[in-house]
Amino acid sequence: MSKLTGTHSEVSAIDFTTLTTVPGTVKVHGAPIQILDLPGIIEGANDGRGRGRQVIAVARTCNLIFIVLDVLKPLGDKKTIEGELEGFGIRLNKKPPAVIVRKKDKGGIAITNTVPLTNIDHDEIKAICSEYKINNADVAIRQPNATADDVVDVIEGNRVYIPAIYVLNKIDAISIEEIDLLYKIPNSKKMWEALDLVRVYTKPRGLPPDYSSPVVLRKGKSTVEDFCSSIHKEIAKQMKYAIVWGSSAKHSRGQKVGLDHILEDEDVVHIAKK
């Protein structure tokens, strides 16, 4: 943390040195990324032990979670941390299940599935609905290998789906052969790829693009309207059209687009107001 952001974060030879959330900012490919150094998560954190609920509540708001593991005992710590986060409704490196539960006034439980049900059947789905006092609903399963947990997650509706990267410290304490084994731990991808960010540069009328301060969006939420809203909520209402240069534009000389145009990384945008 201290090396990346210049913000001091206490370190020592003992575990759980960080006692409060320490914020810092680092620039990645020109985009400012806020990093939060959180206190360690211990077993029972989901039940409030060690101020765990407050720590995990902060983690729920993040776009990417780095899980720092002791290289001498990575798998045990990994299992503990994942279990505590899972218990607080955080789903790591997963997408929201393609399951729909739509309540209705009458008609009982009607279930349709566009994929084979390999881990759950109609009776189990109805039993889950009954547990949640849902007596009338249309349930659509479009998730391959959907499970009872997937159905519960959709009904609960308070789950968050966050990518995670595992970081191993004390790497100098093990051999080259052991390092090769650690490469088999999944999700050892880069931060930028996991964040799935889109940098968009502004171009004022008659001036060159401002490449010093990109507007940073997330893929899937990178329309011109999202771009406008991230600057000021009134800009979208005032916009007549936008001109876009870059990967998402059809022409190298720029393309005139509307609010629903999807922007790509490093596009340049000029907003023409009414």
265 and 167 in a common domain: no
Name residues whose C-beta falls within 8 Å of residue 244's C-beta, 6 or more positions apart in sequence: 224, 254, 255, 257, 261, 263, 267, 268, 269
For the stretch 198-244, pLDDT in tens is 999 999 888 888 888 899 998 899 999 999 999 998 999 999 999 99
Residues of the domain holding 44? 22-94+160-193
Q: What is the pLDDT of residue 6?
A: 62
Name residues whose C-beta falls within 8 Å of residue 120's C-beta, 6 or more positions apart in sequence: 146, 147, 148, 151
108 and 30 in a common domain: no
Within a domain: residue 149?
Answer: yes
118 and 106 in a common domain: yes
Instruction: Give the separation between CA 246 and CA 260, rounded to whole angstroms.
Output: 16
pLDDT tens for the 274 residues of the chain, in order: 566 656 655 554 445 455 577 788 888 888 888 888 887 776 766 666 656 678 888 889 999 998 888 777 777 888 888 888 898 899 999 999 999 999 999 999 999 999 999 999 999 999 999 999 999 999 999 999 999 999 999 999 999 999 998 887 776 666 655 565 565 666 655 667 777 889 999 998 888 888 888 999 988 999 999 999 999 989 999 999 999 999 999 988 899 999 999 999 999 999 999 8
Q: What is the pLDDT of residue 247?
A: 93
130 and 85 in a common domain: no
Q: What is the pLDDT of residue 107?
A: 95
Domains identified in the chain, total number: 3
